[in-house]
Structure 1
Amino acid sequence: MPSSAETGPRGVARYDDLIRAASCESPWRHDGVGGRVYLPDLDLLGSILTIPVSESASTQTGLLGKGLDAWFAHEFRRAGFDPDSVWPRASDPRVLPTDLKALLERLPTALRNDLTARLLRLRAVAPQDASILGRAYTKQVDVVMSSWSTGPELLLSTKSQSSSFGKNLPNRFEEAYGDAGNLRARYPLAAVGFAFALSSAIDAEPSQLERAIDMMRKLRDRGDGNGYTATCLLMYDAGPSGAVSILADEIPADLGAPQFMDRMITAILDAAPASSHRTVRERRRGRLLLEE
């Protein structure tokens, strides 16, 4: 008999229940004198990664990567960005231009439901993944924020690795550096990020962890426009019960999730008109909007 993992939701949809139940409150915490810190929901990330880790899902299944995508997309929605502009969306269709979403919302219910069902079968219009044309080649980007009027504002690639660190780390970083140049060359104003999740098994190879930390720092833009806007290193560990926890203290602060989200959001806001992303700007300032 097929397992629930084989017959149930697949890909990013495996995490819909967790995302739906998660808090959407502002991730910013303020000290009252102008200071702020971004507090990512690492407990949620641990719960998400428990699914692929407990199933011993291989890297080839993409299940752990989809979990990272779902979590980062949720974090950008928590920050206040339009939920329908951040892909993958929290429900099908995962990639849907905001203009089409606005059209659907204005249609009579029966027609809206019929058209939505048709869109789910038209992957060229509403695909599961976002493919973005770079300078040299088209790249599937894991987390995207875009619209027809602005073009891409956020381009985030995620990767994970649980073993064979000495063999595969160089390949991961070579690919990452090429992707950064490909995307930054075509979209110089977009916030282009790279997040890499490592199993705590790398602790058994201290030289490889040092190598990963060094390379994640070197992948950043140093003023030549070729590197990433920000990079993020995550480490996860499965306890005796099978539950996964995120080992934030094992990662240098300059590569942690809080600085990554802060840098990426700052880059998006700096490149956009002051009148856009109002909810994000107000949450960063510690203010509540009337509509919230």
Structure 2
Amino acid sequence: MADSTKSQAWVLFDRIVSEAAPDGAHTNPWSNSANGELLFEPDYATLERLLGVPLYLKANTQSGVPALALDVWLSYELRRAGFDRDQVWPRPANPRILPAPVASLIQSLPMKLREQIAQRVESKSSITGVTSSSAAILGKNYLKQVDVIMTDWATGPEILISTKRMDSSYGKNAPNRIEESYGDAKNLRLRHPLAALGFMFGLRSDILQKEPRTADWLFDLLAKLGQEDDAYHATCLILMQYDDDGAAPVDETESDPEGILEPGAEALADEDDSAAASTSDQDQSVPELPKVTILADLTPPNLSPSCFLNAMVTRVLGATPVNMHEQARQRRVDAVQWTT
């Protein structure tokens, strides 16, 4: 049976991330500006390659692949910042959700047993109560699937980022996306006030020509979502430019496929998709992908990925003791020392 679109996408996503961080060695995203401020420099080249995957596969919105490209990139950027591979979800290998203590336990086992357990864990996208292909977090009133998470049993959720994407029908769909996002923010913030809560919105750049007034309205609301005391700590805009040639047919009645989850529902969504993305194909090269360009210069500064990631990382480090997330702290120190 042919792989699903999402499982094909995972194979390509994993190869791209592996090439960007050979053997798990990530570049340091921090640099020191002329006035002494730390700057987070996102890896836009990797983002553009990841965004080319759903175009290459002609994956529509309902497949979940277009938005998944943003999730993969965000988790990759958080690892560049120095956070642990197994604490940031989705992980760069199957299973996508694996608690860090479970990963540590597997690594501590004798070699033969470790290989057996690892093989079983990696061959299944979901083991009830242990691993999953997606993550849901209980907010004040209901469970909600969250796209990018950093958590540990010892700390609870430390980063909660929701991503949404819109490539067409902007005036028709934008109000619903914003309304949903605001409700999600309040639900999560009230139960997890110390977690860094963020929202990233991927938007095709043709909105600037087709619906400029909608674009201005949307940019304004996105900024305000990051200014409310009980909403997101930071919000972000990704402006994507690409040709129509590679685009998949778009359902103009786009909807959020997750919605409000009942207990256990998150383990059922994509049971076989990420498991099918076998690491045995990692040595194969990434095919030539449709070109996607990030229009960073046209993104409002307060919604830039640089400001967003800086805010997320800074909030986490400010809310934890100095003996936690030591690698993330050291990366910032290294950036300052390199330029002084």
Q: Same fold (TM over 0.5)?
A: yes
Contact 2:79/2:88 (CA < 8 Å) preserved in 1? yes
1:18-74 CA distance string (max 9 Å, x none): 000104110011147632211000111001101112333211111011111110000
How has the CA–CA distance of structure 1 residues 288 and 39 changed in structure 2, closer, same or farther, with 3 Å as cutoff?
Answer: closer
Q: Does 2:183 match 1:178? A: yes
Distance (Å, rounded) in 1 between the aligned partners of 2:331 and 2:35? 15
Aligned equivalent of 2:171: 166
Paired letter, 1:15: F
Aligned equivalent of 1:235: 239
Q: Per the alignment, in what secondary structure is the counterpart of residue 7 of structure 2? A: coil
Aligned equivalent of 1:52: 54
**Identity rate, percent:** 41
Aligned equivalent of 1:78: 80
User: Deviating runs (4+, > 6 A) in structure 1?
Assistant: none
Contact 2:235/2:303 (CA < 8 Å) preserved in 1? yes
Structure 2 gap segments, 5+ residues each: 246-288
Scaled by the length of structure 2, what TM-score is found?
0.79
Q: Does 2:30 match 1:28? A: yes
Instruction: Please show how residues 23-172 of structure 1 align to structure 2 within 5 Å.
Output: 23=21, 24-31=26-33, 34-119=36-121, 120-121=123-124, 122-124=126-128, 125-172=130-177
Distance (Å, rounded) in 1 between the aligned partners of 2:115 and 2:18? 21
Distance (Å, rounded) in 2 between the aligned partners of 1:189 and 1:34? 28
Scaled by the length of structure 1, what TM-score is found?
0.91
How far does residue 10 in structure 1 lie from its aligned partner after superposition?
3.8
How has the CA–CA distance of structure 1 residues 227 and 32 changed in structure 2, closer, same or farther, with 3 Å as cutoff?
Answer: same
Paired letter, 2:234: A
Distance (Å, rounded) in 2 between the aligned partners of 1:64 and 1:44? 15
Contact 2:30/2:335 (CA < 8 Å) preserved in 1? no
Aligned residues: 285
- Aligned CA RMSD, in angstroms, stands at 2.1
1:245-290 CA distance string (max 9 Å, x none): 111111111101000000111111111112111111121123599x
How far does residue 229 in structure 1 lie from its aligned partner after superposition?
0.8
Distance (Å, rounded) in 1 between the aligned partners of 2:35 and 2:212? 40
Aligned equivalent of 1:194: 199
Paired letter, 2:99: P
Contact 1:282/1:288 (CA < 8 Å) preserved in 2? no
1:193-250 CA distance string (max 9 Å, x none): 0000001121221011111101101112433xx1101000011111578311111111
Higher relative contact order (CA closer than 8 Å, sequence separation 6+): 2
